[in-house]
């Protein structure tokens, strides 16, 4: 077969193959994929009847995102931090030889939300603290330089400001009416992922004693909160801000904390008005009421805050509050523990008369107290170290060796026997016992009589002075 014939044969073969392929395509051929008839295709959705409540919930979440996301901002900061040189930095000649300490520029991300059309933004204080520059990115991708209006370390709330107008504003809700199990929606900038929305529930309210801030009353939620969410809003299904996302538990998933918006509003209002925060002050030191202390004082429940010292001339002193009183309520709010009382006092208002309930000598009393500004609180002065001598004699029934305190006013503990009743309760060498069962104990003779008399009931409430602090201890005689 010559060359021309071979070319002719190839062309004929190719034509036959194309014809064959064309003949293979017909109406009965299976499509490459199925497309829903909800999008113009021919296939029906796998699930035809979706429950109406699920569709309603889905629409609610979508509506929240559409309505609220424009008021949520992304915050990026640059700060300069000192590079620590642990060995050389301690040497006073370090800067003479090597110059000023080196620093590094740190970048961080956070979130916030607009509360005014002219550019006031609420966020966390730790997001913008010590920042050299702050940039705010809006939902329309416009970027603005921001300045700090004011920040409060004790609640971790800050306000920043951008120069803009006609901005979308978040609507603030009522966090005091939250219930466990309600929907919670977080919008923020986790890991730099713009305007991420996560959904969960309110896991708990009133979380305190977390060691995160000075004043704590956190909302706990399992809506995913990650680094970068800090300062962003926690929302309800109405799209109202109910909290400021603040912290996470690094060791656990689904545990995030937000500052209740009802607690935050007076804080950022003061920051906008004057750049700082003023809080109420009572003039007492307080401690928790344990089960043993509650029984010792005749209180039915271990709640409230036990007053272990009253500052002379302070608001509490003027109101008639005494050492040994248990504060059970303030302005009608039941006091759970000392941290709760601190928050109630801080929020009660300066110069206003507050109604305070105390438990004293087996009965409840109502007093009026005019709260002062915490800025006017006297600074505690450290007492000089007392000189102590090792006492002679054996430990007593409580496992203590005592002597008259120098200058009078109590009995000094010169030794606390390990494993003794007092040591087990927390009394230490160097403490000064000033009262037993609410009776002043000025000398070792009075101390011995008090111990002997208390032996009949088997219970002791001992007030000790430790440095600048007064502490109550409840003891049970074995």
pLDDT of residue 121: 97
Residues 6+ apart with CB under 8 A from 478: 421
pLDDT of residue 467: 80
Q: Profile the chain (478 residues) by mean pLDDT over runs of 10 residues.
A: 52 48 56 82 85 90 95 89 51 53 71 96 93 93 95 93 95 94 94 89 87 82 89 95 88 83 93 90 89 89 90 91 94 90 86 92 93 72 34 65 79 84 87 86 83 73 84 81
Q: Rounded to the nearest 10 degrees, how much is the dihedral formed by the CA atoms of 372, 375, 377, 378? A: -150
The whole-angstrom separation of Cα 244 and Cα 267 is 12
Q: Which of 324, 293, 320 is nearest to 308 (CA)?
A: 324
> In this structure, are residues 201 and 151 in contact, taking their beta carbons and an 8 Å threshold?
no
The whole-angstrom separation of Cα 414 and Cα 401 is 6
Is 126 marked active-site? yes
The whole-angstrom separation of Cα 400 and Cα 354 is 42
Residues 6+ apart with CB under 8 A from 338: 286, 287, 288, 305
The whole-angstrom separation of Cα 217 and Cα 221 is 13
Half-sphere exposure of 317 (CA within 13 A, CB side): 9
Question: DSSP assignment, residue 38?
Answer: G
Q: Which of 155, 84, 147, 92 is nearest to 339 (CA)?
A: 155
With residue 297 as reference, give the H or E element that holds it.
Answer: helix 291-297
> Residue 61, SS3?
helix
Q: Which of 282, 319, 306, 342 is nearest to 438 (CA)?
A: 306
User: Which letter, b or e, does each residue of 219-229 get, where b requires 16 or more Cβ atoms within 10 Å of its Cβ?
Assistant: bbbbbbbbebb
Is 230 marked active-site? yes
> Residue 389, SS3?
coil
> In this structure, are residues 282 and 310 in contact, taking their beta carbons and an 8 Å threshold?
no
> In this structure, are residues 268 and 156 in contact, taking their beta carbons and an 8 Å threshold?
no
The whole-angstrom separation of Cα 309 and Cα 190 is 46
Pairing of strands 284-288, 218-221: unpaired
pLDDT of residue 170: 96
Of the residues 76, 111, 152, 156, which is catalytic? 156
Q: How far is CA 415 from CA 402, 411, 418, 445, in A?
A: 7, 12, 9, 17
The whole-angstrom separation of Cα 16 and Cα 142 is 62
Of the residues 71, 76, 111, 126, which is catalytic? 126
> Residue 8, SS3?
helix
Residues 6+ apart with CB under 8 A from 375: 278
Domains of the chain: residue spans and CATH: 68-82+102-161 (2.40.10.10), 175-274 (2.40.10.10), 280-375 (2.30.42.10), 400-476 (2.30.42.10)
Is 3 marked active-site? no
Beta-bridge partner residues of 186: 198, 234
pLDDT of residue 220: 94
Beta-bridge partner residues of 136: 75, 144
Residues 6+ apart with CB under 8 A from 243: 175, 219, 221, 233, 234, 258, 259, 260, 261, 264
For the residues of 143-158, what is the DSSP string, one character each? EEEEEEEEEETTTTEE
> In this structure, are residues 151 and 213 in contact, taking their beta carbons and an 8 Å threshold?
no
Can you point out the beta strands (E) in 362-404?
Answer: 363-370, 372-373, 400-404
Of the residues 208, 230, 262, 435, which is catalytic? 230
For the residues of 73-139, what is the DSSP string, one character each? EEEEEEEEEEPP-TTTTTSTTHHHHH-SPPEEEEEEEEEEEE-STT-EEEE-HHHHTT-SEEEEE-T
pLDDT of residue 253: 74
The whole-angstrom separation of Cα 35 and Cα 392 is 95
């Amino acid at each position: 077969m010559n060359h021309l014939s071979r070319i002719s044969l190839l062309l004929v073969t190719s034509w036959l193959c194309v014809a064959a392929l064309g003949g293979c395509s017909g109406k009965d051929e299976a499509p490459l994929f199925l497309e829903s008839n909800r999008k113009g295709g021919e296939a029906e959705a796998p699930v035809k009847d979706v429950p109406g409540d699920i569709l309603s919930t889905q629409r609610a979440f979508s509506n929240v995102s559409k309505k609220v996301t424009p008021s949520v901002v992304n915050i990026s900061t640059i700060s300069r931090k000192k590079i620590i040189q642990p060995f050389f930095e301690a040497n006073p000649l370090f800067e003479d030889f090597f110059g000023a300490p080196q620093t590094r520029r740190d970048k961080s991300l956070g979130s916030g939300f607009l509360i005014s059309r002219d550019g006031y933004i609420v966020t966390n204080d730790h997001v913008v603290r010590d920042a050299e520059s702050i940039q705010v990115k809006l939902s329309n991708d416009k970027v603005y330089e921001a300045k700090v209006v004011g920040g409060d370390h004790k609640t971790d709330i800050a306000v920043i400001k951008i120069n803009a107008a006609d901005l979308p504003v978040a609507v603030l809700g009522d966090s005091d009416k939250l219930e466990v199990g309600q929907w919670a929606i977080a919008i923020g900038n986790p890991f730099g992922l713009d305007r991420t929305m996560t959904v969960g529930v309110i896991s708990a309210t009133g979380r305190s004693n977390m060691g995160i801030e000075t004043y704590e009353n956190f909302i706990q939620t399992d809506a995913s909160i990650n680094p970068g969410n800090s300062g962003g809003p926690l929302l309800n299904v109405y799209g109202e801000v109910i909290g400021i996302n603040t912290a996470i538990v690094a060791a656990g998933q689904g545990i995030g904390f937000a500052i209740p918006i009802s607690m935050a509003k007076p804080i950022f209002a003061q920051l906008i008005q004057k750049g700082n925060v003023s809080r109420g002050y009572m003039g007492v030191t307080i401690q928790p009421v344990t089960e043993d202390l509650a029984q010792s004082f005749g209180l039915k429940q271990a709640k409230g805050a036990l007053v272990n010292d009253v500052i002379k001339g302070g608001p509490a002193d003027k109101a008639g509050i005494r050492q040994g009183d248990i504060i059970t309520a303030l302005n009608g709010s039941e006091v759970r523990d000392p941290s709760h009382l601190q928050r109630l006092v801080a929020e009660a208002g300066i110069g206003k008369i507050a109604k305070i309930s105390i438990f004293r000598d087996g009965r409840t009393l109502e007093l009026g107290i005019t709260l002062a500004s915490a800025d006017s609180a006297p600074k505690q002065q450290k007492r000089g170290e007392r000189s102590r001598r090792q006492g002679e004699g054996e430990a007593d029934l409580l496992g203590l060796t005592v002597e008259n305190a120098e200058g009078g006013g109590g009995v000094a503990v010169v030794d606390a026997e390990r494993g003794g009743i007092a040591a087990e309760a927390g009394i230490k060498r160097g403490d000064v016992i000033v009262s037993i069962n609410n009776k002043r104990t000025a000398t070792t003779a009075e101390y011995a009589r008090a111990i002997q008399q208390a032996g009949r009931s088997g219970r002791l409430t001992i007030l000790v002075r430790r440095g600048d602090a007064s502490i109550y201890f409840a003891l049970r005689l074995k």
